[in-house]
Structure 1
């Protein structure tokens, strides 16, 4: 029986962060859970592509934009289950068992998607407060972000229309499509705090909330992406 899980990682100049993410996935390979790794790149000019090829990943290349990159990666993948993971997110101990429990729920007739508990790879009170808010938002409103990972069966992914080809807020869009079918997994996703540290925890958090609010009110994701990058 083939391993069930395809891991899809979108990248763009992720050469520094990708090794850490890949190292944490080895426990899934050793457990016989991981069937393949698909790295879907948006035009990296660093060593990202060479690194992915070195570890035996299937490489998909195309225009940048995380939603579209993920969608192309999933199309190229073959597993019955999909794990969508950001290149700067490292899954913690117990992620394999948590994923297997989610699969067992589906086998018993409860088909749902799972996300991991967020932690920032940074010290200090603001890192904990920001992660705590993200985890609370995920549980109360069913809106985990992409840096928390997303595990789901392919049939459910296709049922909700897949990952939208959007330059920003693709994670919120698919979470809304999965509303009522998202569950928190008992394992950690430790993500980079570089953007928060560069612009300030409060400023970055407020900016993210404002971007989310504008999206919920119907703003064009392309315009949001341009403003976000500025």
Structure 2
């Protein structure tokens, strides 16, 4: 039986300053047969033009991370789907790690995360994120979610909501199997914490998650998130 094929889906918006470097890092995966689909949500800069020669294809989609990821999944040909933020770097052998993780009974998973930056709290925040995810079975987009095509379809894709789409997707996938929690790390930018202040951002995200758990609408949470930022 042939090995499952992997499609990497990257939603982007106005990433012209970094997209070439991000995709350069993925070239070894592309050379090993990984399909890389960049989904542009209406960038006002040269993101799509810069990405085109460095990925398998560029797909246009309505703005919104969930919508962009779903559009990318619809265009993808792989048996396994990996969703990667544009400011996140994978381990060099990510494709092999994912194949091994999904070889058993689990149909989805995520990586541990390392936050890149100068703020001293970032390593502590990353440890807390990884531990929380391991205890709850809930993953965030920063951790590079991956899943089989069957699991994605069974979950109904990412919910069309402006915030917490990764949390809701994790809840749906947990009904199918526990996640494969890989200890190998993806490296993602800590700019969100550094720009807004680490403690302030931690407090904001915990408050939003608490309200989401209590039933607040993603639309109201997104308005609050944008207002604070």
Give the TM-score of the pair, scaled to structure 2: 0.91
- Confirm or deny that 1:189 pairs with 2:186: yes
Q: Compute the displacement of 1:209 (Å).
A: 0.7
Change (3 A) 1:20 1:145: farther
Greater mean deviation of Cα atoms: 147-156 or 115-124: 115-124
Q: Secondary structure at the match of 1:104?
A: coil
Partners of 1:3 and 1:26 lie apart in 2 by: 19
Partners of 2:204 and 2:119 lie apart in 1 by: 20
Structure 2: 5+ residue stretches without partners: none
Q: Compute the displacement of 1:17 (Å).
A: 3.2
Question: 1:210 is matched with which residue?
Answer: 207
Partners of 2:4 and 2:16 lie apart in 1 by: 27
Paired residues for 1:42-81 under 5 Å: 42-81=41-80
Question: Is the Cα–Cα contact under 8 Å of residues 106 and 180 in structure 2 kept in the other structure?
Answer: no
Question: 1:85 is matched with which residue?
Answer: 84
Change (3 A) 1:27 1:188: farther
Question: 1:221 is matched with which residue?
Answer: 218
Partners of 2:28 and 2:183 lie apart in 1 by: 16
- Listed one character per residue, the Cα deviations across residues 71-129 of structure 1 (whole Å, up to 9, x for unaligned) are 11101111111011111111124423311212422xxxx14211011111113430101
Change (3 A) 1:79 1:93: closer
Paired residues for 1:20-39 under 5 Å: 20-32=21-33, 34=34, 36-39=35-38
Q: Compute the displacement of 1:54 (Å).
A: 2.2
Partners of 1:138 and 1:19 lie apart in 2 by: 30
Greater mean deviation of Cα atoms: 215-224 or 166-175: 215-224
Q: Secondary structure at the match of 1:185?
A: strand
Partners of 1:69 and 1:48 lie apart in 2 by: 15
Q: Compute the displacement of 1:6 (Å).
A: 0.8
Question: 1:8 is matched with which residue?
Answer: 9
Partners of 2:67 and 2:194 lie apart in 1 by: 28
Greater mean deviation of Cα atoms: 148-157 or 58-67: 58-67
Q: Secondary structure at the match of 1:159?
A: helix
Partners of 2:12 and 2:72 lie apart in 1 by: 11
Q: Secondary structure at the match of 1:211?
A: helix
Question: 1:178 is matched with which residue?
Answer: 173
| RMSD of aligned alpha carbons | 1.7
Partners of 2:213 and 2:21 lie apart in 1 by: 33
Q: Secondary structure at the match of 1:136?
A: helix
Partners of 1:17 and 1:160 lie apart in 2 by: 32
Partners of 2:185 and 2:158 lie apart in 1 by: 23
Question: Is the Cα–Cα contact under 8 Å of residues 38 and 55 in structure 2 kept in the other structure?
Answer: no
State the 4+ residue runs in structure 1 displaced beyond 3 angstroms: none
Structure 1: 5+ residue stretches without partners: none
